[in-house]
Homo-oligomer: A and B are copies of this chain.
Amino acid sequence: MAALPLSQASPWEAPDWLRARAAATPTRLALLFQGRALTYGELDRWADGVAHALAADGVGPGHRVAVLLPNSPLYVALVHGVARLGGVLVPLNTRWTAPERAKQLARIGPSLAIALQGPTREEAAALAPERWRSPSRLPGEEDVRAGERWPSFSRPPAPTQEPDPPGDRVQALVFTSGTTGEPKAAMLTFANHLWSAVASAFRLGVDPEDRWLSCLPLYHVGGLALVFRSCLYGTALVLQEGFDVAAFRASLEADGVTLTSLVPTMLYRLLQADPGPWPSRLRRVLLGGAAAPPELLAAALAARVPVAATYGLTEAASQVATALPEQVRAKPGTVGRPLLFTQVRVVDPQGQEVPRGQVGEIWVRGPQVMAGYFDDPPATAQTLAGGWLHTGDLGYLDLEGDLWVVQRRSDRIVTGGENVDPSEVEAVLRQHPAVEEACVVGLADPEWGQRVVAMVQVRPQLRVDEAELIRLCRRRLAGYKVPRHVRAVARLPQTASGKIDRRRVAALLEEETD
């Protein structure tokens, strides 16, 4: 077959989806934030302004740009502006403490950090103060509204040593607690976002009039993914700065919302505040980020909330499997079948597929799986061994091929949609001179899904004030990681093999706090 080589680039080679979207539907609503609306044409202009400003600050292709901001229209313009420039976005968790941020900045080495405040001493040690920029240095929403135009930004030629996989490019480093220890930076590519958007659209459906309400932070994959989805679909993102029950309900009613993403804690609070009915226009509530307790699903079904239960993770650019509302009603608890182009395998510790119905580790393969962890070849090799993403989460496929997740990563705690790695909290507790050993676990919690609690083993002859340990954690760790309760004991329970018996610790703490 004498085919000429394809003359057309794939949509993710040097992608500029915002440019393509603005060409296709410039007057369509792109963004709604606190009652202020921006079209795709306006957002496109703004991204040009942002890209020029960043380029003037020395940011070039392949450079990393750290962003430490709350959700805002400017953040969305930054996501697109950095992409247009050929840079890599590094969204930082705003709930981290300065020491947590400093540690990650030192590892990532961004060219620039954009933050509301200048660096603390620790942060300045990790990234020189002259590399910090206030967002006020960038073109603002008011400039766009005033009709300001910037020249159409053309990306400078790529550096000669193109470091990314050919035909694809890293869009962002998104932090995840990984399977063990320190937060890791998942390298998400444009192809990851594209296939995630396509497969999600074909599962949930997409309508040109859709409006997707998001109160998830843009530094989480669930929030970030929506920026690209809405751009690719040509639909509107209704953005909130954070989650607030009243603001959420008001937006549902006022903004013509048809889709939204929630973590179970948010849905719990919404149902507590107001059992319904929810507006009929709302066609899907994507519920993910943590396993939804059965009582919560029951309450949601009773209130006729169109819950689409989903399983996803940062390393897979969000959705892996999703059950539509009718399936959630028929089989509450399942997250349904994997999306199109996504393969799921449930395996035993030897990596062998287990029979249907049997619990094992969930492995995922598909074009939305990350390129790897930034600057961490060992963790990448381990997590992507054999071409499959080893999620560390436990679950099973039922006889109909629907996925059930029974436990998120072995000892990871998910509280209010945030992931907490116990080992990170344990390391902080062990910094106290009187603490010999620490064990951090998650206990079931109706509102938060799980709450963080700890048991510490005190060194012989020493004593420790439990409240002081909590204060220590608060200084070093983001609030959601701080144990709600700490119990000091002479000796932590151990398994027969001499390891700390986490299940026993959890059972003891459960009794104690009940």
Q: Is the CB–CB distance between A366 and B8 below 8 Å?
A: yes
Q: Is the CB–CB distance between A234 and B2 below 8 Å?
A: no
Residue of B nearest to A8 (CB): B367
Residue A497 at the chain B interface, CB threshold 8 Å: no
Residue A5 at the chain B interface, CB threshold 8 Å: yes
Contacts of A25 in B (CB 8 A): 337
Residue A164 at the chain B interface, CB threshold 8 Å: yes
A163 to B2, CA, bound (A): 7
Contacts of A253 in B (CB 8 A): none
Interface string of A23-43 (1 = CB under 8 A from B): 111100000000000000000
Residue A198 at the chain B interface, CB threshold 8 Å: yes
Q: Is the CB–CB distance between B387 and A7 below 8 Å?
A: yes
Q: Is the CB–CB distance between B187 and A367 below 8 Å?
A: no
Minimum distance in angstroms from A273 CB to a CB of chain B:
31
Task: Select A11's contact among B206, B233, B367, B374, beta carbons within 8 Å.
Answer: B367
Task: Select A3's contact among B9, B21, B164, B367, beta carbons within 8 Å.
Answer: B164
Task: Select A6's contact among B24, B168, B202, B207, beta carbons within 8 Å.
Answer: B168
A375 to B2, CA, bound (A): 6
Q: Is the CB–CB distance between A1 and B203 below 8 Å?
A: no
Within 8 A of B (CB), among A330-373: 337-343, 365-367, 369, 371-372
Q: Is the CB–CB distance between A1 and B387 below 8 Å?
A: no
Residue A272 at the chain B interface, CB threshold 8 Å: no
Contacts of A374 in B (CB 8 A): 1-2
Contacts of A367 in B (CB 8 A): 6, 8-11
A289 to B183, CA, bound (A): 55
Residue of B nearest to A366 (CB): B8
Q: Is the CB–CB distance between B11 and A195 below 8 Å?
A: yes
Q: Is the CB–CB distance between B341 and A3 below 8 Å?
A: no
Interface of A is mostly: loop
Residue of B nearest to A234 (CB): B202
Contacts of A369 in B (CB 8 A): 7-8
A24 to B198, CA, bound (A): 14
Q: Is the CB–CB distance between A371 and B3 below 8 Å?
A: yes
Residue A139 at the chain B interface, CB threshold 8 Å: no
A24 to B24, CA, bound (A): 30
Q: Is the CB–CB distance between A341 and B206 below 8 Å?
A: no
Q: Is the CB–CB distance between B377 and A2 below 8 Å?
A: yes
Q: Is the CB–CB distance between A208 and B203 below 8 Å?
A: yes
Contacts of A202 in B (CB 8 A): 201, 206, 208, 232-234
A463 to B285, CA, bound (A): 77
Q: Is the CB–CB distance between B384 and A4 below 8 Å?
A: yes
Would you mind naming 21 contact pairs between A and B with Cβ atoms under 8 Å apart?
Answer: A1-B163, A1-B164, A3-B170, A4-B165, A4-B371, A4-B372, A4-B377, A5-B165, A6-B168, A7-B384, A11-B195, A23-B343, A25-B337, A26-B401, A201-B202, A202-B206, A204-B208, A205-B206, A205-B207, A205-B209, A207-B207
Task: Please list the residues of chain A having a beta carbon within 8 angstroms of any beta carbon in chain B.
Answer: 1-11, 20-21, 23-26, 62, 88, 163-165, 167-168, 170, 187, 189, 191, 195, 198, 201-209, 232-234, 324, 337-343, 365-367, 369, 371-372, 374-375, 377, 380-381, 384, 387, 401
